[in-house]
Amino acid sequence: MTRDKQPIYPIDLWDVTETAFLLENNYRNETTFSLSNGYIGTRGTFEEAYPFDEDHGLEGNFVNGFYESVPIRYGEANFGSPPRSQTLLNLPNLKETKLFLDGEEFSMDAGSMKGYSRTLHMHDGLLERKLVWTSPGGKKAAINIRRLASFAEKHIMAIRYEVEPLNFSGTVRFQSALRADVENHTRKTNPIVDYGPFGRRLDPVKLTAADGTLYYEGVTKGSGLTVACGSTHRIASGQPIINRTYHAGALDGRFSLTVKAVQGQSVVLEKMICYATSLDMDLGELEAFTKKTLEAAVKTGYDRLEEAQKGYFRAFWQTADIEIESGEGLAIRQGLHFNLFHIFQSAGRDNQTGMGAKGLSGEGYEGHYFWDTEMYVLPVLIFTAPEAARALLRWRWSKLPQARERARILGHDKGALFPWRTINGQEASTYYPLGTAQYHINADVAYALSLYLQATGDTQFLTECGVEMFIETARVWADVGSFSDRRGGKYCICCVTGPDEYNVLVDNNFYTNLMARENLRHAAGAVRWLRENAPAAMDTLAARLDFHQEELALWDKIADNMYLPYDEGSQIYPMDDGFMIRKPWDESRIPPEKRAWLYENYHPLFIMRHRMSKQADAILGMYLHSNYFSQEELRRNYDFYQTVTLHHSSLSTCIFGIVAAGIGYMDQAYAYFSDSARMDLDDYHNNFYAGIHAANMAGTWQAVLNGFAGMRLQRSKLSFAPRLPEQWESYRFQILFRGARLCVTVGREGAEFVLLEGGPVRFDLFGHEVTLERAGGRYFEKI
Ligand code: BGC
């Protein structure tokens, strides 16, 4: 489980630094150094815009929710196959900024370079590059470039480019460009999951270069969406511009500005970049909005944007940081910081966008949103940045109309079925056994919603959106299965795929049935709550949704009679009805180089008829609803699933680690946790170039809080059962809970709970209740 892979970057608490530029690392590092603010996403490519080939780099600039769509050509389409694709579109690049010292172009390939470093400052939300360059002609300059995707202004990305001539006085010229001849690439590297459109998909509508500003507007060929983007420039160090030139071509624009520089005096270019799209506003407003936003950003200036950025991240880290004291704590913490940094920056925050499985860091998985958001990322944001969690849930709610349409296509007269993969709310999965069949997405959304409501007490959201989401998801569960007399009259759900993608179209997937049952219970509870607390709102909703009281009775009946597969012989919960009779998996038949790549090397039928599992499935359900299972049951099931799970998905090890901790298998818990903590930072899966693994990143936070600290929030009851891994001296974290801020420290002596803000907070600790009345309240217990 634990890797012996050496750290790729120097170990440091808050920084990830590359100290030498090596072409072979470039593609991966572009993801490492990618920046986002939940709206704009930009890969960590260089201002010099090196023309790397497609095996070594991918310029990438994205706007959350902005996609291209083409008709999908199926060999054998079935009814209901999504007719059109959705792909997060790679947008025009505006980062390009070339530098000329007395006419000599700066390039890391030419002349000589000293003191190179490129650092992701995770604490501050910034990327910085520093170096001293000597041109082939002997001109020496210190270069410092800072970049941020602004949290203060979601449409803005800012670059501060500082050049200090060290041994000469002369001209410094910046040539800033806009490149609109862009296309998506990743389909070439992962054809199994990516199908992206080929060629340039944006048709230019307008491209101008004037008054210190580059501006572009383009419309996609397929989805008909328009993107506007531009950049504007200012010499912040005060030197007068002695020459300006502009160029506006069909697909590229350039603005070049020259200043006279004096040895020892820095020249600072501030470049503001703006993206806006027709998803945000009317077409006619885009140009004026972009230019106005750029102007305002220039006025604000880079330094103030950077200050605001630091403030934003400071607030996040205050809650989200996990402090660990241990010999290897620094490496683990760096991994956790990296993970939390990326998920925090990637989450859509404007109620109109979700969060991709790869965030906005690359083209992998077409930029699609999956259940990864609800089941892995949201549980972190709910306790650390609840407003970001709310925005993601609100986005899901806004896609109910598309989910209703999808449910009709799947034959359900009522309710909504959320898509397995999507950007615009419609299903984008082309292979239904691994896609639409994952009905559990509905219950996952309901689970995250319920967790959010329990943690925040946000009854306004429940009233405005939540009850509707619960009702519509529950209705599909009430329709998809039936009470079977072959299963003692229990409610059975056939032909679905659970989380595990090596066992598909199965009957009675344990995870699905369990989660569906909870979905129905939460829905019934929410309807009753609304009826009691806002009867008029319930009446209006019932009329709008054509909701009847009898539905409630049916949900109760189904929930009380949900079938969960159980194997008497081994006394475990099999993943589904057929799991125990499938052929045992014989790994020795699989050559080592093919083992992690089954779908790439074997026919699905070969994979699916074996008794093994790609990722946490039943065990995930048992973790989320551990209150229904005894320790003994959890242990038996964990022991079993340990032997059949291959962990071929990055969503797996973190969950096994959590369950292991809960049953006291601390060594295994720690090994799984270690495997997750630096998975992306050290690129264990060798595919980080295509983008982050957001789910695992979030899973590592869960591994500490839900795993080691045993935190659960079930039936509105917060509880802890803290344990300390023997590798650690102590760990400390904070959570936001119903407006209060709770700090938990677990050390060798015991566990300490301090209420920092708000209160009262009640929680169970090893089964007994603790109350902290007000801020300053403290409770300590030996463990
Ligand atoms: C996993 C899914 C996951 C998807 C996106 C797949 O490999 O099996 O559970 O949603 O990746 O991360």
- Residue 450 structure tokens: 């319920």
* 647 CA from centroid of ligand 1 (Å): 11
Mean pLDDT of 364-387: 97
One-letter amino acid of 313: F
| pLDDT tens per residue across span 71-83 | 998 988 899 999 9
| pLDDT tens per residue across span 266-300 | 999 999 999 999 999 999 999 999 999 999 999 99
* 84 CA from centroid of ligand 1 (Å): 21
In a mutational test of the pocket of ligand 1, which residue from 649, 652, 687 has the highest number of ligand atoms less than 8 Å from its CB?
649
CA-only gyration radius of the chain, Å: 27
Asked if 694 and 358 count as a contact pair (C-beta separation under 8 A), the reply is yes
pLDDT of the residue at 193: 55
| pLDDT tens per residue across span 160-171 | 999 999 999 999
pLDDT of the residue at 3: 59
* 653 CA from centroid of ligand 1 (Å): 13
Pocket residues: Cβ below 6 A from ligand 1: 357, 365, 370-372, 499, 501, 615, 649, 651, 695
Looking at the predicted structure, is the pLDDT value of residue 188 above 90? no
Asked if 605 and 598 count as a contact pair (C-beta separation under 8 A), the reply is no
The answer, yes or no, to whether the previous bond of 760 is cis (omega within 30 of 0) is yes
One-letter amino acid of 709: A
Pick from 204, 196, 29: nearest CA to 119: 29
Whose C-alpha lies nearest to ligand 1, atom 12? Answer: 357
Which ligand 1 atom sits nearest the alpha carbon of residue 615? 8
Which ligand 1 atom sits nearest the alpha carbon of residue 358? 12
Give the count of beta carbons closer than 10 Å to the beta carbon of residue 315. 12
Mean pLDDT of 27-51: 98
The residues with which 751 forms a beta bridge, in sequence order, are 746, 781
Residues 6+ apart with CB under 8 A from 516: 439, 440, 442, 443, 477, 493, 562
Pick from 375, 625, 598: nearest CA to 503: 598
* 523 CA from centroid of ligand 1 (Å): 27
- Residue 143 structure tokens: 């270069």
Q: Is 757 an annotated catalytic residue?
A: no
Burial of 214 (C-beta count, 10 Å sphere; 0-12/13-18/19+): buried
* 452 CA from centroid of ligand 1 (Å): 23
Burial of 25 (C-beta count, 10 Å sphere; 0-12/13-18/19+): middle
pLDDT of the residue at 187: 58
Helix, strand, coil shares of the chain, percent, nearest 5, are: 35, 25, 40
Mean pLDDT of 490-503: 98
Q: How confident is the model at residue 320 (pLDDT cuts 50, 70, 90)?
A: very high
Which ligand 1 atom sits nearest the alpha carbon of residue 501? 8
Rounded to a whole number, what is the distance in angstroms from the first to the last CA of the chain? 28
Whose C-alpha lies nearest to ligand 1, atom 1? Answer: 649
CA distance 225 to 240: 40
Mean pLDDT of 174-181: 98
Residues 6+ apart with CB under 8 A from 485: none
- C-alpha atoms less than 13 angstroms from C-alpha of 539 in its C-beta half-sphere: 3
In a mutational test of the pocket of ligand 1, which residue from 501, 504, 620, 676 has the highest number of ligand atoms less than 8 Å from its CB?
501
Whose C-alpha lies nearest to ligand 1, atom 11? Answer: 649
Whose C-alpha lies nearest to ligand 1, atom 7? Answer: 649
Give the count of beta carbons closer than 10 Å to the beta carbon of residue 225. 21
pLDDT of the residue at 1: 39
Asked if 526 and 467 count as a contact pair (C-beta separation under 8 A), the reply is yes
- Residue 552 structure tokens: 């409630």
Which ligand 1 atom sits nearest the alpha carbon of residue 372? 10
pLDDT of the residue at 197: 76
Strand 610-611 to strand 583-584: parallel, antiparallel, or no bridges (unpaired)? parallel
Catalytic residue among 501, 551, 633, 726: 501
Asked if 352 and 279 count as a contact pair (C-beta separation under 8 A), the reply is yes
Looking at the predicted structure, is the pLDDT value of residue 191 above 70? no
Q: How confident is the model at residue 2 (pLDDT cuts 50, 70, 90)?
A: very low
pLDDT of the residue at 327: 86
The residues with which 492 forms a beta bridge, in sequence order, are 482
Q: How confident is the model at residue 192 (pLDDT cuts 50, 70, 90)?
A: low
* 637 CA from centroid of ligand 1 (Å): 22
| pLDDT tens per residue across span 119-131 | 999 999 999 999 9
Mean pLDDT of 658-674: 97
CA distance 352 to 176: 31
In a mutational test of the pocket of ligand 1, which residue from 88, 192, 372, 418 has the highest number of ligand atoms less than 8 Å from its CB?
372
pLDDT of the residue at 713: 98
- Residue 477 structure tokens: 């569960």
* 372 CA from centroid of ligand 1 (Å): 7
Which ligand 1 atom sits nearest the alpha carbon of residue 694? 12
Residues 6+ apart with CB under 8 A from 717: 763, 764
* DSSP 8-state class, residue 92: P
What SS3 state is found at 65? Answer: coil
One-letter amino acid of 444: D
Asked if 495 and 443 count as a contact pair (C-beta separation under 8 A), the reply is no
| pLDDT tens per residue across span 321-374 | 999 999 888 999 999 999 999 999 999 999 999 999 999 999 999 999 999 999
Give the count of beta carbons closer than 10 Å to the beta carbon of residue 520. 28
CA distance 498 to 193: 18
CA distance 416 to 398: 12
What SS3 state is found at 216? Answer: strand
Averaged pLDDT of the chain = 96
Asked if 511 and 575 count as a contact pair (C-beta separation under 8 A), the reply is yes
pLDDT of the residue at 54: 86
Looking at the predicted structure, is the pLDDT value of residue 189 above 60? no
* DSSP 8-state class, residue 739: T
Looking at the predicted structure, is the pLDDT value of residue 565 above 70? yes
